[in-house]
Structure formats: C-alpha cells, structure tokens
Structure 1
C-alpha cells in the first residue's frame, strides 16, 4: 500500500483539492497514532479516495480475497489497485466469512492501524443511510479500540452509479465525529441485543454527521428490489463481511463494488470549511 499512499499524498492530493475543493472537518478526533475503528456511510466509489484524504495516516479496509487471486493482466491490475487503496484480503476458505473478517480486523487493529468499516455492508442505492450490520459492534467490543464515526458528504453526486470519473462542480468532503464509548458493554459481544444497540448508536452518530435520511432496512435488500432480483433477507450476523460491497453487480464502473438507483438529496452543508474541528 505504501506506493499508493505516497502517490496520494504527493500527486493526487493537490489535484483533488484544486479540482474539487473538498470540505473536511473533525480531523482532530482521529488519533495521530494507535488503532481506531473508523465507521462510515458508503455512498460512492469515490469514498475510498476522499475519506482518507485529509488524514496523515492511511485507513485499511477488509475485502474479499477474490480481489487478489485473479489471473493474467486483469488479475494483476485488480490486486495492485485494491492493495493500493488499502484493502486487506480475507481468506474465506474453511470457515465463516464473518469470523474470518473479524479475525482480520482484529489483526489490523492489533498492529496499531486505522481500520475502516462500512456498517451498511454495501454502497447505498441512493443518498440515504441504511440499517447497519452488527459485525461492526462485535469488532468494537472485541478490539476495545476507539470507535470514530465518519460521514462522507456529496460523494454520491460526485460519482454516482455508472460514472467512470468524478464530476466537476461538486464539492465532496468528510466529517469525523468524536470517539464513541462502548466500554459499558465490554464482555457482552455474544449478546444480540447489545450488538444491535451498539450498531444503532453508531448509525445514529453517522447520521448526525451526515444529515442523511435514515432507512431502517438493509441496503442490500433495497438494491435487490430495485434491480428486480429476488430479495434475500439479510441477517445481523450475515456471513458477508462489513466491507464486502460487491454483491454480484457486474455492470458498474468500480472493479466489483455494486451500485443502485436514483439520487436523493445530499446532507447538510458545512459552510465550506476545511479545518480540524
């Protein structure tokens, strides 16, 4: 990932600030060192670039091992790209994907790094915020690291489904909230009610930052309906890991992540500030 981080900081950062003038705030809430769980809404492929942009530390994400095992030139490109944007592969052979993702996340946090999680489990089909999956809560309780809510702003309009490049004239941004404290729940990571309560609290914090409308349904179910596909009920403990957002979409522009339909209104404006608080 080092090559991409250097490229982003030296080459892409000035270009991104010049062309899109992103509005960022709350960076002081992200620890300068040590592990933290970064929990975010997920609106666009552009989130991978504009989310970490104002930080001086990379954010790692968990992804399917299949991204890294392709053959030929296409496989090499896929592996290089996902490695570059900070995706860490999960080995799903011989066990539960959810457990494999959990153990991978714990390893990343144990190394003192920032781990990014999209609790919705997939990109939202529109500009609304959807019900979170409880894997994020289990990881928060087992790791006992700071949980930092973050909200992507305007990235759906910036790079909506089917668009290969970000639009000009849209100002994206990211907001980082104050750390969430779940110490009162430590030792209760097998309590489903506790996991749901923590997940709902995380989603409420993201909503407060983003100003999005909240939908108490799983995004994957809504996307299936919009595509005219059979709806597979999503469980809180679904085997899909929390960053695994390529649910069989093959017609989009983003190397395996799925998208859905129409845009809704974006979250509130922050007045154009780019600051640390």
Structure 2
C-alpha cells in the first residue's frame, strides 16, 4: 500500500478541489455541493503537492451509525491503495464509538467495500424526470390545507420525525440541507403536528428531492408534487428499494429509473429506525 501521500483534512476553502475530484471521475456535482459536504462532516483526503488526489467524507450520527460518502480517487492515482487507506481511516474512527457504518456503493467501489466486510442490506434506486417546457400542472398553487412550508419551528419537528425514520439523530444533515434548500414542505395533521416533510435543493439544473419522510406513498407523492412545483429542468430522487409502491407511483408520473446502487452496512445486520417512513434520501453520502 502506498504511504507516500499524507492524509489531510479538507476545509471550507477546498470546495473547488472536491469539485475537481468529482469531475475527474465523471460525477455530476454542482458548484455548491462540496459546501454541503464539508459543512456537514469531516472530509479527508490525500494531496500530491498542491493537488488533491483523493477524498472521503464521514457523517456520524451519535454512537449508533455513521455514513461514509463520496470516496473519490483521481484516476491518475488509482491502484495505489489510496481508497483503501481512506476507508481504513474512517473505519478506525467508527471503532472508537462502536458505530455501524453504512454507505451507498458505486459499481467500481463494490470490490473494495466487500473486501472490508461490508454487506449489501438494500438498494437505492435513482429516479429522474424532465419537466416539459409546457407543463400546466406545475403552475398550480403549490399547496393548501395540511401542506405547509417548513419553517424554523417545523424543522425541529422534522428532525424528530427523521429520527423515527432513520433511528438516529441527524440534526447536522437536516440543518445543512435546510441551508441549501430551494424549498421545504411539511404535512400537518388536524392538531398541527408534522406527520411528514420533504426538502428540495438545486444541483445546477437538477432539483434533488430529499430527504422525504412521511407515513405512506400517497403523502410522499403529495409532498413531491409541491416540492417540484414551478421547477424547470430535471428532478431527481434516490429512493430506497423497499419503497416499491412509491417507485410505481413515480413511474406513473413519468419518472425514469436511471441507476440502482447497493446500500451496504458494516457492524450491524440491518439499518436502524422505521425505514418504511423514508421515501427519498437526502444524499447518498449521508446514507
């Protein structure tokens, strides 16, 4: 294993370098996406002189679960063991608290993760839809009745609902997504309590919807429609494989499945929480 490159921490000023790394492997990151990652959890990598040649982020949720995301090695430096060094670094961090570790795997990364003991516990299905240039449905008023914009007070309720769905506290993730959002909406019951919520953020011309947490597929579709109202361009969701009914509803709305990625886990047999409430991920990096 090559030891010639020291492991270093990325900071808020390294966003352009993280973006360049993503572009080097053909990933479609927006200019603001690195900021989302760097401000949500620690990101480390290797440098060759002044050039960043690898990176990976670590997103810890208490002592129960952590997610490793956007592990990238510049193609010119692949085959030197840098990806494995990044993984071992973060797995050692997880061992300190006894946390299970999850990640959403790319096809090239699967052999490495399998060799480190990760097991596939599910799949994440990416769906995309291109809004037609003329789409009267998108011009309808975005919400009424029990659908309300997600404000600061509602975000605190959404964090608790997210905890029920994922089994862990993800305040930092939700606050980061909230700062980057185009819109956020909630479903309230007759007493005013939040029963579901969703965020949408822009990734250049793509509207990324997630997280999307609610009681059933009907409510998830209603939230999706209000979140995508008025958008012109592509719309994207990363949907857990267990949400088969919601996936069928998406196909009925002319969404197209563009990829399927394994969700992997090390240190536990299953993901915590009531995962039937989770209809779309915030981002694969966050698990």
- Compute the TM-score of the two structures, normalised by the length of structure 1: 0.29
Structure number with higher relative contact order (C-alpha < 8 Å, ≥ 6 residues apart): 1
More strand by share: 2
- Compute the TM-score of the two structures, normalised by the length of structure 2: 0.28
